Amino acid sequence: MIAANPERVLQDLYFLRSVGTYKTGVHRPTLSADDMTTRRWLAEQLQAIGHDAHIDGVANVVGLSPAVGRKLLSGSHIESQNRAGWLDGALGVIYALEAARAVAEGAGIRDIGVDVMAFADEEGHFGSFFGSRSLTGNLTDEDIDTAHDRTHGTPMREALAAAGLAGVPRHRLDLERYSGFLEAHIEQGDSLEAEGLSIGVVTSIVAIWQYRVTFEGVQNHAGTTRMPIRKDAGVALRKLCTRIEELFPEIAGPRSVWTVGRITLDPGAPSIVPGGAEMLFQFRDADPETLLRLEAGLQQLVDEANANGPCTVTLENLSKSTPAVMSPAIQDALDAAADKFAPGKHVRMPSGAGHDAQVIAQHMPAGMLFVPSVGGISHHWTEDTSDEDIARGAQVFVDGVARLLQA
């Protein structure tokens, strides 16, 4: 009696794609006018099925089911990266909305229910997981007071006021209300597509450990400074990058990944030997021992660089998240649903990207479902998933929700 309406899911996703359209993707940064348009639209859709829905003081869309029986929490984020894809986040929000509709239609509006959330700023325009952290009591007023938009530098308080949210209270989850949390997402990688699969049942979400590495040399004239006496910070940075690529494959786990995301040289002029350099570096894995091994390897390489000179190298940790293990019971329910709609086409797999589910998983059983990403592309306007895979994913998701609510 509880089943998804794939045509309705696609219609909703196409509507969201029309708000803030950028080429074949969207540009809806957190608290922008287009972002707020989609948040208000979602609240209206939830109100239409009897939910108590509003936008809270940090821009979370909160939709509370009127059901008096067993309830699940579900959702994702609705804002986008700058000039990026149309499904990253939006897919999970619409799947959650569809699950809430399907449960209300199939089981009776006051029996069992799905609360729907569109978590604010999962994409990190102002900070890290501000929406889900706020809902779970892990975001302070000071965090909001000091947050600025990473693109334009706008203070978050100012952006909230411009969106009409100044002074609006922040919602806090009643954790006793829920039997669990479920999020859907595009894979953002190519594993499912490469293996000809349709559904991924997430086993864990990796931790992300991020670092700043700075190099101090001597700035000098590029034409008159002899090579043997140079203390070129750019060369020191390049050598460390090379050593990372030599060492990390030997100490990494089978799914470890690492990235130098940004390099800056000071002063960055063509005729000046750089006196300073900086790189932002991160690695990801779901295994705590592997994370510690990679960190120790990075420290070893920094110590080695300092011992060899001629530049001084400093390693600074910026953040360390914690791996999140998904609920075995939720994995089982999603597997059973996938057996029904995608027999032989589903697999259990870790998530290489961070999601709000990892925040919620610290407080209640959580699970995630993946659908394929065409070419493994995400965080770019060419991001896409076929209508067929979106429809099948919606069917599996809603069926999994039904199994969990009726267990």
pLDDT tens digit string along 277-307? Answer: 999 999 999 999 999 999 999 999 999 999 9
Same domain for 309 and 397: no
Domain count across the chain: 2
Tell whether the model's pLDDT for residue 107 goes beyond 80. Answer: no
For residues 64 and 166, state if they share a domain: yes
Indicate whether 388 and 248 sit together in one domain: no
Residue 1 belongs to a domain:
no
Q: What is the CATH number of the domain that holds 372?
A: 3.40.630.10
Tell whether 297 and 327 lie within a shared domain: no
Q: Is residue 173 part of a domain?
A: yes
pLDDT of residue 82: 98
Q: Are 133 and 89 members of one domain?
A: yes
Rg over CA atoms, the chain: 23
Task: Return the pLDDT at 152.
Answer: 96
Are 86 and 128 part of one and the same domain? Answer: yes
Q: What is the pLDDT of residues 313-332, one digit of tens each?
A: 999 999 998 889 999 999 99
CA 134, CA 404: separation in Å to the nearest integer? 26
- Of 320, 350, 379, which one is at a domain's C-terminal end? 320
In a shared domain, residues 175 and 302:
no
Cβ proximity of 236 and 313 under 8 Å: yes
Give the CATH number of the domain where residue 294 resides.
3.30.70.360
Same domain, 214 and 127: no
Task: Return the percent helix, strand and coil in the chain, to nearest 5.
Answer: 40, 25, 35
- Which residue range(s) make up the domain with 315? 207-320
pLDDT of 128: 87
Domain stop point among 293, 320, 347: 320
Do 289 and 353 lie in one domain? The reply is: no
Residue found by looking up tokens 């063509």 in the block: 270
Confidence at residue 109, expressed as pLDDT on a 0 to 100 scale: 59
Structural domain contains residue 187: yes
Answer whether residue 76 is part of any domain: yes
In Å, what is the CA distance from 280 to each residue of 264, 296, 345?
Answer: 9, 17, 38
Residue 28 lies in a domain: yes
In angstroms, the Cα distances linking 224 to 217, 227, 310, 342, 360 are 16, 9, 18, 67, 58
Last residue of a domain, which of 285, 320, 355?
Answer: 320
Residue 103 CA neighbour count, 13 Å, CB half: 35
The verdict on 53 and 99 lying in the same domain is: yes
93 with 237, same domain: the answer is no
First to last CA, the chain: 15
Strands 113-119 and 71-77: parallel
Instruction: Tell me the mean pLDDT in the region 374-379.
Output: 96
Same domain, 91 and 132: yes
Task: Answer yes or no: is 134 within a domain.
Answer: yes
Residue 69 has pLDDT above 70, yes or no: yes
Contact indicator for 61, 78 with CB cutoff of 8 Å: yes
215-263 pLDDT, tens per residue? 999 999 999 999 999 999 999 999 999 999 999 999 999 999 999 999 9
> What digits encode the pLDDT tens for the residues 270-279?
999 999 999 9
Tokens of 45: 């859709």
Percent of the residues in the chain that have a pLDDT greater than 70, as a whole number: 99
Q: Measure the CA–CA gap between 311 and 259, rounded to whole angstroms.
A: 22
